[in-house]
Chains A and B, each alone.
Chain A
């Protein structure tokens, strides 16, 4: 059997693969955003003065670092509706199940990344903020979060790239993302190479785009006056074009 380029290109530019890619990307973005926010609070929980909060946060991280993603997805999609009748209703789609499952997992991983990013900030920073009369949340917002972001960008970028690929696991709960779409074509035609290559091409392009975005974000956080001028010029330029 040989590789049929026309099948490959047909799949690559078909609506169903594009839709699969959009599903994968939106899911990955939503999961990542939710996990960053929830993971931030979980990281604070792990440092809490309250023993119960600290214990529960640690238990959460322990649990979701241990259980494989595939197993979580299957549990949520198949087992949860048996336990909770509301999950049997139509709103509980594979997309929502995948979002839930992947977010639960990713939150645990992001909490660890954010926790070590927070720990990397010298203690004098918080001391200086407190000495200036900043209240706790104000110090977190103005002093700790910006410095945390810089440290957390590279590992979070890697997490996100992983997440784009992880969405393919949701094909087992029949989410119509890229892998599921390709697998359906394959099961009809047995043209493994063409259809799976088309799916792989999408991942390649998507991941490459995000790697470019990641290095831009890392440069943005270099904290010197030339970068700050360049960036404000860029955003000013953008505003002017919007106004025009």
Chain B
């Protein structure tokens, strides 16, 4: 059973803010190596759903399983309750998250940003971790940047460091929330290239994005979100084909 369990599986997930559901009863699963692009209008719940998958938001209904194991909730006296922050911490280590606004730690050098998680999870000696940081930095095309501070980097470089930081613990899946939306247009390419090479190396990814090119060429699956629901879930060739549903066409006309 466990070999066949999806890598990440959300079942009937609901998330409410102030009594109003912004993610409505969503079921979604993804397997190793799949690259999913999530598109949809602003305010449709894409970020909220991604944060729920990253175990950063307690959910109000449904469940999330990672490799078949229930995460985010625990059984307590026969009832399911949300896990505490302490319990969630170890589960989160297997899931990498990249944010629209980078969220690098400004008081730490690039290397310290990358090795912090290794340090707190006691994953290796200082010199081993420095090595890990160097090799990940090479992957994102930033060799030699380890002593720089975030304030000394361009937006594109910062986002690549944020990707490197998320990769440090060796996550099995990477979640990206509009990773290029805060970037100047000329810096978008370098970040997408890093994501593309990650996908080529077989990384499982879920990417909320408005980059149609990326969704078409890199993703193996495209999803349309609308008002807290998945309204379309297709291979990109079909998703972007003219014969697609009215709703998707309307949305795409809007972005393009």
Taking CB as reference atom, which chain B residue is nearest A221? Answer: B107
CB of B120 within 8 A of CB of A224, answer: no
Complex CA gap A229/B109 in Å reads 11
A174: interface (CB < 8 Å): no
CB of B90 within 8 A of CB of A228, answer: no
Query: B105 touches which one: A128, A130, A138 (CB < 8 A)?
Result: A128
A147: interface (CB < 8 Å): yes
CB of A132 within 8 A of CB of B107, answer: no
Query: A135 touches which one: B85, B148, B169 (CB < 8 A)?
Result: B85
Chain B residue numbers with a CB within 8 Å of A158 are none
A136: interface (CB < 8 Å): yes
B103: interface (CB < 8 Å): yes
B165: interface (CB < 8 Å): yes
CB of B151 within 8 A of CB of A124, answer: no
**0/1 per residue, B87-107, Cβ < 8 Å to A?**
011111101110101011111
Chain B residue numbers with a CB within 8 Å of A122 are 101, 103
Chain A residue numbers with a CB within 8 Å of B92 are 130-133
CB of A224 within 8 A of CB of B149, answer: yes
| Residues A189-244 near B (CB distance < 8 A) | 221, 223-225, 228-229
Complex CA gap A223/B51 in Å reads 29
Complex CA gap A125/B99 in Å reads 10
Number of interface residues of A (CB under 8 A): 25
A88: interface (CB < 8 Å): no
A146: interface (CB < 8 Å): yes
| Residues B106-152 near A (CB distance < 8 A) | 106-107, 109, 116-117, 120-121, 147-149, 151-152
CB of B86 within 8 A of CB of A127, answer: no
Chain B residue numbers with a CB within 8 Å of A223 are 106-107, 149, 151
**0/1 per residue, A8-51, Cβ < 8 Å to B?**
00000000000000000000000000000000000000000000
Give the shortest distance, in Å, between B101 (CB) and chain A (any CB): 5
Q: Given known contacts A131-B166, A133-B93, A142-B116, is B149 in contact with A225 (CB within 8 Å)?
A: yes
Q: Given known contacts A133-B90, A133-B117, is B103 in contact with A128 (CB within 8 Å)?
A: yes
B54: interface (CB < 8 Å): yes
A134: interface (CB < 8 Å): yes
Query: B56 touches which one: A127, A138, A146, A229 (CB < 8 A)?
Result: A127
Give the shortest distance, in Å, between A50 (CB) and chain B (any CB): 15
CB of B120 within 8 A of CB of A134, answer: yes
Residue of A128, A143, A147, A228 most packed against chain B (CB within 10 A): A128
Chain B residue numbers with a CB within 8 Å of A127 are 51, 56, 99, 103
Taking CB as reference atom, which chain A residue is nearest B51? Answer: A127
Give the shortest distance, in Å, between B166 (CB) and chain A (any CB): 7
Give the shortest distance, in Å, between A233 (CB) and chain B (any CB): 13
27 contacts between A and B (CB under 8 A): A125-B105, A127-B51, A127-B56, A128-B103, A128-B104, A128-B162, A130-B88, A130-B92, A131-B92, A131-B95, A132-B166, A132-B169, A133-B117, A133-B120, A133-B169, A134-B120, A135-B85, A135-B89, A135-B120, A136-B86, A142-B105, A142-B120, A147-B105, A147-B107, A224-B152, A225-B148, A225-B149
Q: Which 7 A-B pairs have the closest CB atoms?
A: A133-B93, A128-B103, A124-B103, A131-B97, A132-B117, A133-B92, A146-B107
